[in-house]
Amino acid sequence: MWTVCGSARGVAEFVRGFAAGGSLGSDGLFTPADAKFRVLLNSGLSAIVWLGIGSLATMLIRRFALPRAGESY
């Protein structure tokens, strides 16, 4: 039983560290009293920002890197 909990804890620490790296500094931006609501606000803000970054990157790649109709490289 201890080895299962120990390995699960390692996975949880990995996910927590990975999420902290992708949070873009919004970990403590909002501080409501409810912990679940705090995570929702802070992580949700990061998710929306990452969606915007991904959308912008996709638009730039489509505009500048992909050939237009009728063109070939």
Cα 6 to chain centroid, rounded: 26
Question: Would you state the structure tokens that stand for residue 42, as one six-digit string?
Answer: 């802070």
Q: Tens place of pLDDT for every residue, the chain, 73 residues? A: 445 566 678 888 888 887 777 777 777 777 888 888 888 888 888 889 889 999 999 999 988 887 777 666 5
Whether the full predicted model's pTM is greater than 0.85, yes or no, is no
Q: Are 44 and 24 in contact (CB under 8 A)?
A: no
Q: Look at the chain and count its residues.
A: 73
Please choose, from the candidates 48, 56, 57, 58, the residue with its C-alpha nearest in 3D space to the C-alpha of residue 24: 48
Residue ranges covered by each domain of the chain = 2-64
